[in-house]
Amino acid sequence: MPRAKLRTPALRQHLLSQAVDLLAEEGWAGLTARALAGRAGTSPPALYELFGDMAGLARALSAEGFARLGAELAALRETADPVADVWTLVAAYRRFVRGNRALAEVMFSRPFPAFSPGPDELAPAAPVRSLVTQRVRRCIEAGRLRGDESDVAQVLVALVEGMAFAEVAGRLGASTEPVERRWRLAVGTLLNGLAVPPL
């Protein structure tokens, strides 16, 4: 008896994709319910049925961002040098933040949860974290780094995010040269400090 439903998971995906583009073009301030609905050829209430509210859209955007970041990281091929692979991983992470500033802002600078970020909040980032952990594990197993793989991966990601946000905020230097130099110093020093000391 009812009419055909338009507010399907397919429309949700389309809205999400358009939201990513709109976010990149206009920033978070330009990502309004009306603008997104109009751009996607639907109406605001559809947005609310599919995402709950704008915070739900932000969560979905964050998950989408982690999915894209995970895909980019997973596309990196392993070489014979596991430490060099960590460098390329860092470069890809950095490239992602630089190429998707507003999206990265939504992913990382999310308004802090009340007290505990439920498992659902961390789940989208899990593949990315496990990928980083895996690359770190290879270094440890090869004897190039030492420490707990999970701890090392967490610290590495924190350093990279801190550096990437400082860079896009313009706090790391105006010209490209000091920025590159500080990136090399940051990653090189951390890896150096984690390396087994050359007896």
User: Counting contacts by CB under 7 A, is residue 7 touching DNA?
Assistant: yes
Residues 17 and 86: their CA atoms lie apart, in Å, by 30
Amino acid at 150: S
User: Counting contacts by CB under 7 A, is residue 43 touching DNA?
Assistant: yes
Exactly one of 14, 24, 33, 155 binds DNA (CB under 7 A); that residue is 33
Q: Considering the complex, state which of residue 9 and residue 113 has its C-beta at the smaller distance from a copy of itself.
A: 113
User: Counting contacts by CB under 7 A, is residue 5 touching DNA?
Assistant: yes
Q: What angle do CA 180, 183, 188 make, to 5 degrees?
A: 125
- Contact footprint for a copy of itself (CB under 8 A): 27-29, 101-102, 105, 108-113, 115-117, 121-122, 125, 147, 151-152, 154-155, 157-163, 165-166, 168-174, 178, 181-182, 185-186, 188-194, 197
Q: Considering the complex, state which of residue 4 and residue 116 has its C-beta at the smaller distance from a copy of itself.
A: 116
What b/e sequence results for 134-143 when a residue is b if at least 16 CB atoms lie within 10 Å of its CB, and e otherwise? ebbbbbbeee
Q: Considering the complex, state which of residue 33 and residue 186 has its C-beta at the smaller distance from DNA.
A: 33
Q: Considering the complex, state which of residue 139 and residue 190 has its C-beta at the smaller distance from a copy of itself.
A: 190
Stretch that binds DNA, among 30-38, 90-98, 107-115, 166-174 (CB under 7 A): 30-38
Q: Considering the complex, state which of residue 15 and residue 157 has its C-beta at the smaller distance from DNA.
A: 15
User: Counting contacts by CB under 7 A, is residue 34 touching DNA?
Assistant: yes
Residue 185's binding partner among a copy of itself, DNA, none (Cβ under 5 to 8 angstroms by kind) is a copy of itself
What b/e sequence results for 43-53 when a residue is b if at least 16 CB atoms lie within 10 Å of its CB, and e otherwise? eeebbbebbee
Exactly one of 21, 49, 148, 151 binds DNA (CB under 7 A); that residue is 49
Give residues in contact with DNA (CB under 7 A): 1-7, 31-35, 42-46, 48-49, 53-55
